[in-house]
């Protein structure tokens, strides 16, 4: 058969060079204009059959309930910190910021629910980056916030104080710094660390994330987990030892001396829940980044994602359970909301308040009017 004019012979040096050039151009071809079905098909990820029918309904119902609870409870925590002057300290400002990170996680999960399952394959590359970037940002915000709380606790504990001497301006700058890091880390794949121009390096769970990025991201988070656990354990042991040594020689109420330990127990419970809820998902992503084809990561991804979502549900419960002041403030705010919805019930409470003023002491008078005071402040 006659060779076409102008084309190099297959065995010639020119033919080999042309084949190398074609292979190189294919390897460096970028796929920014492709939809996600192209990447899901290459990664052999089945998004349609696994996310339809009963399983999809269950996941969406559970996810919706969790998200509604996240929005309500974390808003309540933030409002409690703003409302109660007892919480106007650096530790509680950072705790409120952690609640804000959980609130943001709820937004990320809502966006995920409307852009998952069969819909995933119809997404554009930029919309998929936004979906995953919101999740990465929420995780980084929570993790960085816990690291900053560790620093704040270290500053106060080493001086044997309940709260550090950070000013409001410094706390505000720290909060802005936390969110700047979180947004940057969530945007890293969008900024270029992806596999759109090197499709052979794409992962399975995140079809347009580079496996090298998944390894970097998961390892850095797991190392941060380990560092925080070690730091918090050291602070906890130090506080416990100092409290036991100084308690017999220190004046003041027992509750005041125990306050640093209570705060440490609260933070360590939050940290423990964070590590337990996020570590399985990070390990799965790490295995995917290491290209472990026999690990079955596709079968457990959605359940570990729900476990991570559960962390944002647990935190407000931990705050209210471990901190009596937080619990009482949140309870009063909820009661005030019901009172505002049922104004006819208010007059029945006024006579009892008046009687308590004449028949009892000033301490009971304070307690009896405190709910009304809070409600009046809420309505004003």
CATH T-level topology, domain 36-242+259-336: Rhopdopsin 7-helix transmembrane proteins (1.20.1070)
Mean pLDDT across 129-146: 92
pLDDT for 1 beyond 90: no
Cβ-in-10-Å burial (0-12, 13-18, 19+) of 9 comes to: exposed
User: From CA 159, how far away is CA 205, in angstroms rounded?
Assistant: 47
Query: pLDDT per residue over 185-229, tens digit each?
Result: 999 999 989 988 888 888 888 889 999 999 999 999 999 888 888
Closest by CA position to 183, among listed 252, 86, 108, 117: 108
6: alpha, beta or left? (left if phi > 0; alpha if psi -120 to 50): left
Of 74-83, 142-151, 339-348, the poorest mean pLDDT is in: 339-348
Number of Cβ atoms within 10 Å of the Cβ of 347: 8
Query: pLDDT per residue over 237-272, tens digit each?
Result: 877 777 676 555 555 544 455 566 777 777 888 888
> What is the pLDDT confidence band of residue 68, given thresholds at 50, 70 and 90?
very high
pLDDT for 70 beyond 90: yes
CB 108 within 8 A of CB 157: no
Which of 92-101, 113-122, 164-173, 237-246 has the highest mean predicted lDDT (pLDDT)? Answer: 92-101
User: From CA 197, how far away is CA 169, in angstroms rounded?
Assistant: 44
Q: What is the value of pTM for the model shown?
A: 0.77
Mean pLDDT across 296-304: 78
User: From CA 339, how far away is CA 345, in angstroms rounded?
Assistant: 7
CB-based contacts of 312: which residues, under 8 Å, 6+ apart?
66, 70, 74, 102, 103, 105, 106, 138
Mean pLDDT across 134-163: 83
Query: pLDDT per residue over 327-380, tens digit each?
Result: 888 888 888 877 766 655 544 443 433 333 333 333 333 333 344 444 544 444
Of 19-28, 109-118, 327-336, 346-355, the poorest mean pLDDT is in: 346-355
Structure tokens at 265: 């127990």
Residue 25: predicted pLDDT: 43
Residue 245: predicted pLDDT: 67
Residue 79: predicted pLDDT: 92
> What is the pLDDT confidence band of residue 319, given thresholds at 50, 70 and 90?
confident
Closest by CA position to 58, among listed 306, 256, 270: 306
User: From CA 278, how far away is CA 306, in angstroms rounded?
Assistant: 10
Of 89-98, 300-309, 312-321, 351-360, the poorest mean pLDDT is in: 351-360
Residue 254: predicted pLDDT: 47
User: SS3 string of the chain?
Assistant: CCCCCCCCCCCCHHHHHHHHHHHHHHHCCCCCCCEHHHHHHHCCCCCCHHHCHHHHHHHHHHHHHHHHHHHHHHHHHHHHHHHCHHHCCHHHHHHHHHHHHHHHHHHHHHHHHCCCHHHHHHCEHHHHHHHHHHHHHHHHHHHHHHHHHHHHHHHHHCCCCCCCCCCHHHHHHHHHHHHHHHHHHHHHHHHCCCCCCCHHHECCCCCCCEHHHHHHHHHHHHHHHHHHHHHHHHHHHHHHHHHHHHHHHCCCCHHHHHHHHHHHHHHHHHHHHHHHHHHHHHHHHHHHHCCCCCCCHHHCHHHHHHHHHHHHHHHHHHHHHHCHHHHHHHHHHHHHHHHHHCHHHCCCHHHHHHHHHHHCCHHHHHHHHHHHHHHHHHHC
pLDDT for 127 beyond 70: yes
């Amino acid at each position: 058969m006659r060779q076409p004019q102008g084309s190099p012979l297959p065995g010639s040096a020119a033919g080999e060079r042309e084949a190398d050039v074609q292979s190189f151009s294919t390897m460096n071809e970028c796929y920014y204009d492709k939809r996600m079905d192209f990447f899901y098909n290459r990664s052999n990820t089945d998004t349609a059959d696994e996310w339809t029918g009963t399983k999809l309904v269950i996941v969406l119902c559970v996810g919706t309930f969790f998200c509604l609870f996240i929005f309500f409870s974390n808003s309540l925590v933030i409002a409690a910190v703003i409302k109660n002057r007892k919480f106007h300290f650096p530790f509680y400002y950072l705790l409120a910021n952690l609640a804000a990170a959980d609130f943001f996680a709820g937004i990320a999960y809502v966006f995920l629910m409307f852009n998952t399952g069969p819909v995933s394959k119809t997404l554009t590359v930029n919309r998929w980056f936004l979906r995953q970037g919101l999740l990465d940002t929420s995780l980084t915000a929570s993790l960085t916030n816990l690291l900053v709380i560790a620093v704040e606790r270290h500053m106060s504990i080493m001086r044997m104080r309940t709260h550090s001497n950070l000013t409001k301006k410094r706390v505000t700058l720290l909060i802005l710094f936390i969110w700047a890091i979180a947004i940057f880390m969530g945007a890293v794949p969008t900024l270029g660390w992806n596999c759109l121009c090197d499709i052979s390096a794409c992962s399975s769970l995140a079809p347009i994330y580079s496996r090298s990025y998944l390894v970097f991201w998961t390892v850095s988070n797991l190392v941060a987990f380990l560092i925080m656990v070690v730091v918090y354990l050291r602070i906890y042991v130090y506080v416990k030892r100092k409290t036991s040594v100084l308690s017999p020689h220190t004046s003041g109420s027992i509750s005041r001396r125990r306050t640093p330990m209570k705060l440490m127990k609260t933070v360590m419970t939050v940290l423990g829940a964070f590590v337990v809820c996020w570590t399985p998902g990070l390990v799965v992503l790490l295995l995917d980044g290491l290209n472990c084809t026999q690990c079955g990561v596709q079968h457990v991804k959605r359940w570990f994602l729900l476990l991570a979502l559960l962390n944002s549900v647990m935190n407000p419960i931990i705050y209210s359970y471990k901190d009596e002041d937080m619990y009482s403030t949140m309870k009063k705010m909820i009661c005030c909301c019901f009172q505002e919805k049922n104004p006819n019930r208010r007059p029945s409470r006024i006579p009892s308040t008046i009687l308590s003023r004449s028949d009892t002491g000033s301490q009971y008078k304070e307690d009896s009017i405190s709910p009304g005071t809070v409600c009046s402040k809420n309505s004003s």
